[in-house]
């Protein structure tokens, strides 16, 4: 366990060095957050009763989404991993005293955590002091916050587990770009990045909630906002853990089989 923590710490501290990129991201997320809120506000003013979330809940959802964007976006990859696969540099990675899947998984968690740590505090600090109805609100109680935090961690791990499948698929393709684009489009839509899942038509929402994408961003944010609770929350958390275990197991097995086929030429 110590070697995993050391590797996580090294990648996390390395990710904290990109402060200029973090400030640029913060400015972008404020702009996107305000734009989204003003757009939704126009619709709510027309007919507030037509929407499944109260506007303060939606405002909280959007600010959480912008604060923790780095944890869940599926367009964030480590290009060094793709390069090591396509150039044969993965042979050097296999010489390390740590399983390759675990090393890349730990690196993905650390990179996302570092980026989120740099960006979430300024966004949250401003969002809590905005005027009503655009400000962010606290959860209903401490218990909800703790469940939210646990689901947030599980959702981040689920995102990285899905990302690992994209990495492994590169062993079989000349370019990873096609798989990356497809995964980005699916994830942005099905995890509520573009439109929160409660706004989906009923049949589409039920389908989306059964996919692993719903356990990434959608579930922890809805728990915090209070739009998922009781038995529905318990079932959603169980499904989130099921997909996490399934994707990690499938990814590790697929990588093990892929590495048996790897042939690296050169001196």
- What confidence tens digit (pLDDT) does each residue in 128-174 have? 999 988 999 999 899 999 999 999 999 999 999 999 999 999 888 87
Cβ pair 35, 135 in contact under 8 A: no
What are the pLDDT digits (tens) for 6-63? 767 777 777 777 777 777 778 888 888 899 999 999 899 888 888 889 999 999 999 9
For residue 140, the SS3 value is: coil
Whose CA is closest to 226, among 143, 127, 151, 139? 139
> Rg (Cα) of the chain, in Å, rounded?
20
| pLDDT tens digits, 166-206 | 999 988 887 788 888 999 999 999 998 889 999 999 999 99
What kind and span of H or E run contains 30? helix 19-46
The C-alpha atoms of residue 194 and residue 172 are separated, in whole angstroms, by: 31
- The model carries a pTM of 0.90
Q: Helix, strand, or coil here: 201?
A: coil
Per-residue pLDDT tens digits for 204-243: 999 999 999 999 999 999 999 999 989 999 999 999 999 9
Assess whether pLDDT exceeds 50 at residue 267.
no
pLDDT, one tens digit per residue, over 92-129 is 877 777 888 988 999 889 989 988 888 888 899 899 99
Nearest to 210 by CA among 231, 251, 185, 240: 240
């Amino acid at each position: 366990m110590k070697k995993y923590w050391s590797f996580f710490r090294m990648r996390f501290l390395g990710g904290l060095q990109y402060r200029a990129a973090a400030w640029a991201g913060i400015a972008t997320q404020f702009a996107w957050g305000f734009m989204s809120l003003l757009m939704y506000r126009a619709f709510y003013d027309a007919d507030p009763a037509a929407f499944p979330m109260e506007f303060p809940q939606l405002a909280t959802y959007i600010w959480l989404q912008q604060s923790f964007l780095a944890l869940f976006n599926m367009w964030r990859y480590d290009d060094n991993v793709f390069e090591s696969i396509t150039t044969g540099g993965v042979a050097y990675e296999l010489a390390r005293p740590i399983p390759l899947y675990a090393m890349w998984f730990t690196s993905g968690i650390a990179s996302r955590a570092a980026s989120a740590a740099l960006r979430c505090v300024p966004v949250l600090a401003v969002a809590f002091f905005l005027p009503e109805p655009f400000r962010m609100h606290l959860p209903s109680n401490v218990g909800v916050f703790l469940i939210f935090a646990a689901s947030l961690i599980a959702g981040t791990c689920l995102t990285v587990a899905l990302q690992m499948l994209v990495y492994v698929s590169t062993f079989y393709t000349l370019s990873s770009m096609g798989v990356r684009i497809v995964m980005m489009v699916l994830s942005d839509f099905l995890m509520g990045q573009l439109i929160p899942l409660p706004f989906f038509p009923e049949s589409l929402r039920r389908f989306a909630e059964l996919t692993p994408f719903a356990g990434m961003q959608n579930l922890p944010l809805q728990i915090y906002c209070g739009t998922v609770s009781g038995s529905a929350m318990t079932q959603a958390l169980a499904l989130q853990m099921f997909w996490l275990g399934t994707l990690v197991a499938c990814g590790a097995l697929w990588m093990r089989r892929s590495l048996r086929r790897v042939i690296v030429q050169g001196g």
